[in-house]
Chain A
Amino acid sequence: MINRFSCAALVVLSLTGCASDPAPTEQLRLSEQALAQAKAVGADEQVAELAMAEAKLLQAQAAMQRDAFKDARVLAEQAELDARLAEARVLTQKSQDQLDELNNRINRLRKQLGTL
């Protein structure tokens, strides 16, 4: 009898599970912020991680709507880091472009100096 009850309890527990998670409002705010920040430095759909961040944030918001708070938190956490990686990639690419441009200029200067 006890066995039967504990089994039923386990089933119920595993079915409800995540319902006890609190609403990840703060995490969603952080994720939105990270996404906005990535876009502000010039990340667009070309950056794979930005597209992922946007998709996951949308899913997280949808999960919030149906009170699936654990799903919402997981998706929002991943979206935040996807967005941060997108931002870092864009900034790194920009710094690389800047280096290339500087090297070009230096080569041109050297060439001019050589011909004098």
Chain B
Amino acid sequence: MSARVQMLASALLALLLSGCAGSQQQSSNEALEAARSSFQAVRENSDVLRSAPKDVIRAGESLARADRLSSYWGSTDDVSHYAYLSLRYSEIAEQNSVLSLNQDRAAKLELDRQRLQLALREAKLLSVQEQSNWLEEQILSLTAGETERGLVMTLGDVLFDAGQAELKASANRTVLKLVQFLQLNPRRVVRIEGYSDSRGDKLENLKLSRARAQTVADVLVDLGVDTARIEVQGHGESFPVAENASARGRAQNRRVEIVFSDELGRLSSAR
């Protein structure tokens, strides 16, 4: 009787202890192996060691515990558990290391970005300045140069239809340059003066010369130049630049002149 109980008890015990020990043993061995190789990797990575030393240490401690337990019977669950913890610590350490490398890199890139932004701003400023200089040269090339009246630019008769005040399309480029120049030099103002030749009625000539000057002023205003910056005058046949005896001379006399102020807005006095 007692022998039978004893046998039963030992059978039960054996069953309990072995259980499904075969497959459990295998999975805990695999977990241990995975934890070991992960720990090996983080321990040899100096970036990880520098940025997450505590997690690396804990990964090592958990691994050591799993290792120790693996030599005991019936502790496969515990081995798996500590192997799992060790693996997690290694993974956390690795993530934290990537994070800290990313942060260092981001700080450097942010400096790069600021430097580039500054360079771009300077370059844009420079290009505005260059554009302005270029335009000024263009405008200067269209003017007769510095006279006692300041800078004077002449729009010739060819830019108008004969006897009419309308500007021809061919005047557009010159006028656009003028507008850009005035936009880039906001303190400069202009006086637009119309002139005619001496043929025909004197009063009619005065009216036409004034109308042509006004046309140019209107176009400038349409393109965004403030009216306050523009004066308009008609001079008729006064102040010829050539003799009125020849057709060529008369054509030269039919003109619109644009007188620029200096950079501070000081305009020479009107004729």
Contact = CB atoms under 8 A, between A and B. Distances in A.
Contact of B95 (A4, A85, A99): A85
Interface stretch (B84-92, B162-170, B192-200): B84-92
B81 A77 contact: yes
Contacts of A78: 81, 84-85, 88
Nearest to B96: A88
B13 A11 contact: yes
Given A4-B2, A7-B10, A103-B109, A113 B98 contact: no
Contacts of B99: 88, 91-92, 95
Contacts of B116: 106, 109-110, 113
Contacts of A88: 91-92, 95-96, 99
B123 A113 contact: yes
A82 B110 CA distance: 32
Interface in A76-97: 77-78, 81-82, 84-85, 88-89, 91-92, 95-96
Contacts of B183: none
Contact of A4 (B5, B84, B103, B105): B5
A1 B205 CA distance: 144
Interface string B92-119: 1001101100110110011011001101
A81 B89 CA distance: 7
Contacts, number: 90
A107 B81 CA distance: 48
Contact of A14 (B10, B16, B88, B120): B16
B12 interface: yes
B224 to A, nearest CB: 25
Interface string B113-148: 100110110011001000000000000000000000
B6 A4 contact: yes
A78 B102 CA distance: 27
A72 to B, nearest CB: 13
Given A14-B17, A96-B102, A106 B112 contact: yes
A7 B13 contact: yes
A1 B109 CA distance: 79
A95 B117 contact: no
Contacts of A98: 102, 106
Given A7-B6, A116-B120, A116-B124, 4 more contacts: A78-B85, A81-B89, A96-B102, A113-B119
30 contacts: A3-B6, A4-B5, A4-B9, A7-B10, A10-B13, A11-B9, A14-B13, A15-B16, A77-B81, A81-B84, A81-B89, A82-B88, A84-B88, A85-B91, A85-B92, A85-B95, A88-B91, A88-B95, A91-B99, A92-B98, A92-B102, A95-B98, A95-B106, A96-B102, A99-B105, A102-B106, A102-B113, A106-B112, A109-B117, A113-B120
Interface of B: 2, 5-6, 9-10, 12-13, 16-17, 74, 77, 81, 84-85, 88-89, 91-92, 95-96, 98-99, 102-103, 105-106, 109-110, 112-113, 116-117, 119-120, 123-124, 127
